[in-house]
Structure 1
Amino acid sequence: MTGAQRSRTTAPSRHAAAPPPPPQGRRVPLRRLLRVASVACGVQFGWALQLSLLTPYVQELGIPHEFASLVWLCGPLSGLLVQPLVGHLSDRVAGPLGRRRPFIVGGAAAIAAAVLTIGFSADIGRALGDPVGKRPRAVVVYLIGFWLLDVGNNTTQGPCRALLGDLTGKDQRRTRIANAYFSLFMALGNILGFAAGSYSGWFTIFPFTVTSACGVNCANLKSVFLLDTILLAFTTYISVTAVQEVPEPSGHQLPNSIEGTQQLNIGEEAFLWELMGSFRYLTWSVWIVLIVTALTWVGWFPFFLFDTDWMGREIYKGNPGEGQNYHNGVRMGAFALMLNSVVLGFTSVILEKLCKKWGAGLVWGVSNILMSFCFLAMLIITSIAKSTDYTPNGLPPDGIVVAALVVFAILGAPLAITYSIPYAMISTRIESLRLGQGLAMGILNLAIVIPQMLISLGSGPWDQLFGGGNSPSFAVAAAAAFFSGLVAIIGLPRSYIARTRGHR
């Protein structure tokens, strides 16, 4: 009998009991939801450093720009496998620490190990025999740390969002608030991380980080990753001690979305069969959310890959390892991303009011169209910078820099919505289907990582085909963001908003 056939059996078994929903008579206080979401601050601090510093750093290690995007392929690949698997397991683990918290702690430990591996990669490479001027072993160590970092990120964030879904249940307003808290802490982590990345004097505070294999720029990277491990440990402790999870029995039930009464026992089903089989029970409104999410991330990922590199190359007209212009641009890009995170945090605070007034689908759609206009603005700024003669010191005119800073800052608003609304929509819709919050986060993650894989594989060669800059990828991002906004505005108000209002 095949796995698909076994999933259709209806005979009772010892696994047939579904995990009970959170107690309905007692709501978890908002302050506890805030504490649970706080781990996002520590995780995002490291993610901010990854976004702002690691694409430039990997080029310093010797990987050309056209292949730099391939390094980021590890994130989507690990997300494709790790987060759905972790979500599946966290739906079923029955232990004294609960279902979600062991994964949150384990993921945080993996992140800490990863950032230390990345920060010390040059020193480890030299210890393994790298000659002066060449760093092949350091690149290998860096790649191992980079992969481990993305595995840790996926292991931590999925169960944390699932835990928030467990604690809010079918209360859609509190689910949106909980995800807004998560987005708010992501913004705070971004602000701290990008601020740390924009400061060039960490090596004077931690002088031991400067070694024969690790110069000033490398030492700054190493120092901020040491800070990340401290912040991550602190926020993880706050998060996992906020609530006591009730151990849940293993096994799960899936309703048949067509007949509505047939119960499907999948307690012993193989993970991939369950993940693929669960798509049969998704409603049309859930599919619209997944489509919009996928298109949204086609827009975001080129920006995440090349934001500070764009600032260093196109705005400051520098190259990695050649003079200081490129590094000045990277630090200015990190500062711009800090402004982006300030706007992200403010938007997270007012997001519930916006959704209540206009509907989550309309808010999401308008924000994606705004994101598209911002990417178009970056293309215009790039064109202006190319035709502008810079001063003898090589620095760009203030007007160009200010325009770039403004665009980065505005992008914080749609980013806050990307970090919140899709997760709230999936959480509330999957709750009624009883698929499990962990599996729900895994399903949504597939809509995120598959576009990221396409961008990682194609953006470097695509950019190289049109001259080696970042503009071609940003053009693709602008088109995808605009189309995703139209789909959200047209599809989500009918398929999601009207129904959720009926459940209140």
Structure 2
Amino acid sequence: MTVPEGQQQRHRPRGGAAVTPVETPTRVPLRVLLRVASVACGIQFGWALQLSLLTPYVQELGIPHAWSSIIWLCGPLSGFFVQPLAGHMSDRSTSKYGRRRPFIVIGCASIIVSVLLIGFAADIGGLLGDGEKKTRAIVVFVIGFWFLDMANNATQGPCRALLADLTGNDHRRTRVANAYFSLFMAIGNVLGYATGAYSGWFKVLPFTLNSSCDINCANLKSAFLIDVIFIICTTYISVTAIHEQPISSIHDVNSEASSHPQEAFFWEMFGTFKYLPNPVWLILFVTSLTWIGWFPFILFDTDWMGREIYGGDPTGDQKYSDGVRMGSFGLMMNSVILGITSVLMESLCRRWGSGFIWGISNIIMFLCFLAMLVLSFVASKADYGSDGVPPNGIVIAALVIFAILGMPLAVTYSVPYALVSSRIESLGLGQGLSMGVLNVSIVIPQVLVSLGSGPWDQLFGGGNSPAFAIAAVASFASGLVAILAIPRSRPSDKSKIRH
């Protein structure tokens, strides 16, 4: 990105704390924004595989259902520490390659290492002497799983911040850029879930099947190998789309940082909360409630399909594996709807207002989670016959629910980021740090869900319904707050937040 001289601005929040100068970019063509956002496709491809396959695979390795949510705890924890730190470091980076692009490249390389560890966990465990109990494979898997979450979080913050840099003060283009990002997330989801739903990858890549890695393991390994190729391609397309001008050529950021009274990053990040106006606090509150709704679904969607709908057992039951693949197919449909909604997002928000669209989408979440609870009850009473195959009506209903949830997911992936990016601008924070502030409101509820959903489900019989009940309540509450309290602002509204 080339920034003409004289167009940089230095902002100072109330209280006099100096911050990194904010670059005001020239107007960037939409095709460039589209290329920059394409990195989300590769990242989300692997994320889709993680969401659809890894909770079931954890249980196939021998980890109990009650503990599977604890494995996911690294996601919110790394999001709490890694994503805001990466965003903050990218705000102040003086690399000759730009502020954001080096973090994106390093993050994507870390994702590649992580997925290789996950895919080859059983092989590594076998080489280290695993027998019937795959203890070593579990250790390698958990290390790869946690490293993958950290790499994802380290990458997505700078990606979002780069789009915000390129759109500057243009609120409409900020919405468009976030819609592009959401669109590519949807495309990555479609490809990732479709890959996870296919059960014949071990035939396409026969070298993945061996004595340590059975068919399900070989399919997972093959899917992650495909992901490696995909991440390399999309990262190249994204980072070559623009040329970021090094910040040191505009301003000596080191001299600015040396006068900064808040040397510790996390002290600085949490110090910014006292400057947030009420509208931003409201957005953060609704975001937290929204993610209390989403995270149980993200954790247990395919597990719910395998357990409650197909009536399978994760420890080697074919019915469970069939249910997981059908769940991946449902998530692929979900991502198609997500992509369509992302394309329409700008016009929907312009017509109805961001707060209203966000609120309605969360009410739809509530209805879908409620329908899942009803469907679980119906499935528990249904006659599956001698072959144990669930009735077509139940499976179709589950797939429809998965598909409908793509609409509110598109809103969650774009609207909160656009709202915070535009409303926090007057505080003078770097966009990387701004995304970190929003991310805090996402990861705290995820930590609570990760710690509580497994034991909570076990307390009520070991299924997924109790966690979905909590998700339904949170979705309904967040929808009401968004509709009633968030102003129905439009992109043409250029007013600043009052302090």
Q: Which TM-score tier does this pair reach, normalised by the shorter chain?
A: over 0.9
1:294 and 1:448 in contact (8 A); partners too: yes
Structure 2 CA distance for aligned equivalents of residues 438 and 220 of structure 1: 37
Distance apart, 1:126 and its partner CA: 1.1
Structure 2 CA distance for aligned equivalents of residues 423 and 242 of structure 1: 22
Instruction: Please show how residues 152-163 of structure 1 align to structure 2 within 5 Å.
Output: 152-163=151-162
Structure 2 CA distance for aligned equivalents of residues 253 and 198 of structure 1: 53
Q: In the superposition, relative to structure 1, how do residues 59 and 253 fare at CA in structure 2: closer, same or farther (>3 Å)?
A: farther
**Matched letter for residue 361 of structure 2:** S
**Structure 1 residue 192 corresponds to structure 2 residue 154:** no
Report the equivalent of 1:334: 328
Structure 2 CA distance for aligned equivalents of residues 10 and 78 of structure 1: 31
Structure 2 CA distance for aligned equivalents of residues 195 and 17 of structure 1: 45
**Structure 1 residue 114 corresponds to structure 2 residue 108:** no
**Structure 1 residue 384 corresponds to structure 2 residue 378:** yes
Structure 1 CA distance for aligned equivalents of residues 414 and 482 of structure 2: 15
Report the equivalent of 1:21: 23
Q: Which among 416, 419, 438 is matched to residue 444 of structure 1?
A: 438
1:17 and 1:252 in contact (8 A); partners too: no
Structure 1 CA distance for aligned equivalents of residues 375 and 404 of structure 2: 15
Structure 2 CA distance for aligned equivalents of residues 297 and 468 of structure 1: 22
**Matched letter for residue 36 of structure 2:** V
Deviation track 1:209-259 (CA, whole Å, cap 9, x = no partner) reads 0010000000000000000000000000000011111111464999xxxxx
2:14 and 2:275 in contact (8 A); partners too: no
Q: What SS does structure 1 have at the residue aligned with 2:92?
A: coil
Report the equivalent of 2:6: none
Aligned positions, number: 482
Q: What SS does structure 1 have at the residue aligned with 2:243?
A: coil
1:203 and 1:220 in contact (8 A); partners too: yes
Report the equivalent of 2:211: 212
Instruction: Please show how residues 85-100 of structure 1 align to structure 2 within 5 Å.
Output: 85-100=85-100
Runs (4+) of structure 1 exceeding 3 A deviation are 7-11, 249-254, 496-504
Q: What SS does structure 2 have at the residue aligned with 1:177?
A: helix
Structure 2 CA distance for aligned equivalents of residues 242 and 41 of structure 1: 15
**Matched letter for residue 159 of structure 2:** C
Q: Identity, % of aligned pairs?
A: 65
Q: In the superposition, relative to structure 1, how do residues 220 and 267 fare at CA in structure 2: closer, same or farther (>3 Å)?
A: farther
TM-score, with normalisation over the residues of structure 1?
Answer: 0.92
Structure 2 CA distance for aligned equivalents of residues 388 and 323 of structure 1: 20
Unaligned runs of 5+ in 1: 1-6, 255-262
Instruction: Please show how residues 65-80 of structure 1 align to structure 2 within 5 Å.
Output: 65-80=65-80
Q: What SS does structure 2 have at the residue aligned with 1:331?
A: helix
**Matched letter for residue 137 of structure 2:** A
Report the equivalent of 1:304: 298
**Structure 1 residue 182 corresponds to structure 2 residue 187:** no
Deviation track 1:255-279 (CA, whole Å, cap 9, x = no partner) reads xxxxxxxx99537621011011011
1:115 and 1:149 in contact (8 A); partners too: yes
Structure 2 CA distance for aligned equivalents of residues 404 and 96 of structure 1: 51
Structure 2 CA distance for aligned equivalents of residues 17 and 413 of structure 1: 37
1:376 and 1:478 in contact (8 A); partners too: yes
Distance apart, 1:20 and its partner CA: 3.7
1:266 and 1:274 in contact (8 A); partners too: no
**Matched letter for residue 242 of structure 1:** A
Structure 2 CA distance for aligned equivalents of residues 365 and 251 of structure 1: 41
Unaligned runs of 5+ in 2: 1-12
Instruction: Please show how residues 103-502 of structure 1 align to structure 2 within 5 Å.
Output: 103-131=103-131, 133-249=132-248, 251=253, 266=260, 269-493=263-487, 500=493, 502=495
**Matched letter for residue 22 of structure 1:** T
Distance apart, 1:432 and its partner CA: 1.8
Q: What SS does structure 2 have at the residue aligned with 1:419?
A: helix
Q: What SS does structure 2 have at the residue aligned with 1:420?
A: helix
Distance apart, 1:501 and its partner CA: 5.2
Segment drifting more, 148-157 vs 187-196: 148-157
2:110 and 2:148 in contact (8 A); partners too: yes
CA RMSD between the two structures: 2.1
Distance apart, 1:18 and its partner CA: 3.9
2:93 and 2:99 in contact (8 A); partners too: yes
2:22 and 2:430 in contact (8 A); partners too: no
**Matched letter for residue 164 of structure 2:** G
Structure 2 CA distance for aligned equivalents of residues 71 and 179 of structure 1: 30
Structure 1 CA distance for aligned equivalents of residues 173 and 255 of structure 2: 25
Distance apart, 1:430 and its partner CA: 1.8
1:84 and 1:445 in contact (8 A); partners too: yes
Q: What SS does structure 2 have at the residue aligned with 1:493?
A: coil
Distance apart, 1:391 and its partner CA: 2.1
Distance apart, 1:382 and its partner CA: 0.4
TM-score, with normalisation over the residues of structure 2?
Answer: 0.93
1:104 and 1:160 in contact (8 A); partners too: yes
Q: What SS does structure 2 have at the residue aligned with 1:320?
A: coil
1:252 and 1:266 in contact (8 A); partners too: no
1:253 and 1:434 in contact (8 A); partners too: no
